[in-house]
Structure 1
Amino acid sequence: MYGIGGKGGIDVYDVACVGILVADAIAKTVDKLPERGKLQLVDQLDLYTGGCAVNAGIAMARIGLNVAIIGKIGNDGFGKFMYSVLKEEKVDVSGLVIKPGSSTSASMVLVDSSGERSFLHCLGANAEFTDTDVDFKIIEKSKIVFIAGTMLMPSFDGGPCARVLKKSKELGKFTALDTAWDSRGRWMKVLEPCMKYTDLFMPSYEEAVQLSGREDPEEIADVFLSMGVKIAVIKLGKDGCFIKDSGGQKYKVPTYEDIKPVDTTGAGDSFAAGFLTGISRGWSLYECGKFANAVGTHCVMAVGASTGIKSMKEILDFMARYE
């Protein structure tokens, strides 16, 4: 059991999400790009909140956790949109740094007919976020510190991230880390300083292969565990997840195969939200994996990273129907 106790008093956060905030303009359905200089119609074009910290934070708040978010946005239209939605979703925004003159990070998300998505991304204010922007008064009042979106915060990745994790561990916090795809190919050079301060590491299979140089999920997990991670979770998409901890416990947890994905945007972040919910509630690793798969499944059943996320009771009822 890796639980850290139940929900505390009103001033205690279950999770502090530290990381990227992104406004997502999602276009659906895009199976091919328009010819150069030409116009192409799409069925739908909508604006949603996105970014790993936001997606996971909103998902956990909807499930019923007390969540704070720490990151940086611009004082622009996208930033005001993000701020207002987070407040509506009951995520504490006191840790957000609003930087005049900076543009809020944004993505153009192209969703094809299978539900798979491709991105055009502007780093914006996420590129300026660093460890000195982190409000440790919030960290001190949080049970779990979740770094969400490593590889997309060039002023935070590597040493600054490791410093935040190290200080969080010194404060007695449970630490978790998720990563994004590294288009610059740095991979383990960025993450290595962070691993020994990380209790829970949750990369996707594709990211994990790049980081470890291995292809078998258990061999991948062993690489991360050898670097000091306490629990390695490999997200396997439609195949569920593989979990292994430093004590040798290991599980392959299947997911819900008969669900047709509508949009996979935010699925990995929703999975992370589900797993962290289990950790915060003291569940076994297998129970954490089952719940994480169910939350990820709800995510892909609707367009947008958070649209499909339901309450704890609704997700548990969904799981019970598949028992």
Structure 2
Amino acid sequence: MARVLTVGMHLADVLGRYVEAIPEGQGIQLLDEIRLTVAGTAAATAVNLAHLGETVSTVGVVGDDALGTFIVNRMHDTGVSTEHLRVDQSLPTSATMLPIRRDGSRPALHVVSTNGQLNEQDLQPELLNGTSLVHLGGSCLLPGIDGRPSADFLQKAKEHGAIVTMDFIPSRTSHSRDWQAIELCLPFVDYLLPSDDDAYYISRADGDRHQAIDYYLDAGVKNVLITMGEHGVSISNNDQQDLRLPAFDVDVVDTTGCGDAFAAGFIAELMRENNVLAAAEYGLACGSLMATGLGSDAVDLTRPRVEDFRRTASRSAP
């Protein structure tokens, strides 16, 4: 049985660096590198967890096509159980094109496709047998389970004694729809792991971190961890507010997958130490290390590699 179960987004990323501008007409721009990677807030987190030595299973949907085969094979090869990664015959696999800028930022050109096919029937209670932690990744972009289906599954997870972690990605097409996608889930979430931009958008905090923190704690979340890129992470619960830990100093190549790497590191260390500060420190190391390469699997997050990075990397003030 898997100790960790990831549920949600599975997709393939096609990344190119560096893209200064999209050429007009039939123009061409020569790039340094193009990669195809497993991505998504459930899939990438699961792969990183497997590299970190966790026993992990994943729940999602991919298409019966080359990208779907790539995702299944890649995840299986890293040690993730793909028994519950369903193949849908009717749609192509979800995918994103990411033109990477020189500062590591990137716009995203995304098709929901098979991620929209994940449904309540995929969330069977039997998945929770032997599971110590459930990570729900990609809410707001999972129309088949957003809202009540996700909340019911997380409630069952809590009844089974599992820890619940959650990350969301607002569609930004409708604030009310995005809020409804996560609202019912929040009382069952032990650790919420959004980026600062996403946290502020949903909470309408307009960059006010304390307002955002209060918003999620009032909604029932036990611990709110807001990742802030080069500024590290903010940790809050009902006992402490906005405790900040600094990020590690790295030369950023690409920020794709850094949040998923943080989530994986946080979860893996939480399972060992049951200490939110130690887990956040480890998550920061994983997220910072991932930023040194291109894509969500730019770095294999083995524990020796992460520990070596933690010993040698410098850190900025929080």
What TM-score, normalized to structure 2?
Answer: 0.93
State the 1:115 CA deviation.
Answer: 1.4
Residue 232 in 1 paired to residue 224 in 2?
yes
Within 5 Å, give how 1:1-323 maps onto structure 2. 11=1, 13-186=2-175, 187-214=178-205, 215-248=207-240, 250-257=242-249, 259-322=250-313
Contact 2:98–2:106 (8 Å) recurs in 1: yes
* Distance in 2 between residues matched to 1:24 and 1:306, nearest whole Å: 10
Q: Which runs of 5+ in 1 are unaligned?
A: 1-10
What TM-score, normalized to structure 1?
Answer: 0.92
* Distance in 2 between residues matched to 1:90 and 1:296, nearest whole Å: 21
Q: Deviations over 1:243-273 (max 9, x none)?
A: 012333652000113x111111101111111
State the 1:310 CA deviation.
Answer: 2.4
* Distance in 2 between residues matched to 1:309 and 1:224, nearest whole Å: 32
Contact 1:131–1:163 (8 Å) recurs in 2: no
State the 1:287 CA deviation.
Answer: 1.1
Q: Report the AA paired with residue 270 of structure 1.
A: A
SS in 1 for 2:197: helix
Contact 1:295–1:309 (8 Å) recurs in 2: no
* Distance in 1 between residues matched to 2:154 and 2:197, nearest whole Å: 24
Q: Deviations over 1:157-178 (max 9, x none)?
A: 1121111111111222111110
Number of aligned residue pairs: 311
Question: Which 10-residue stretch deviates more, 66-75 or 305-314?
Answer: 305-314
* Distance in 2 between residues matched to 1:130 and 1:107, nearest whole Å: 21
* Distance in 1 between residues matched to 2:34 and 2:122, nearest whole Å: 33
Q: Deviations over 1:186-205 (max 9, x none)?
A: 33222111111111111110
State the 1:15 CA deviation.
Answer: 1.1
Q: Report the AA paired with residue 21 of structure 2.
A: K
Contact 1:70–1:135 (8 Å) recurs in 2: no
Q: Report the AA paired with residue 289 of structure 1.
A: A
Question: Which 10-residue stretch deviates more, 190-199 or 211-220?
Answer: 211-220
Task: Provide closer, same or farther for how the CA distance between residues 18 and 292 of structure 1 changes in structure 2, counting only shifts above 3 A.
Answer: same
Q: Report the AA paired with residue 202 of structure 2.
A: L
* Distance in 1 between residues matched to 2:274 and 2:12, nearest whole Å: 33
Instruction: Give percent identity, aligned residues only.
Output: 27
* Distance in 2 between residues matched to 1:182 and 1:314, nearest whole Å: 34
- Give me the CA root mean square deviation: 1.6
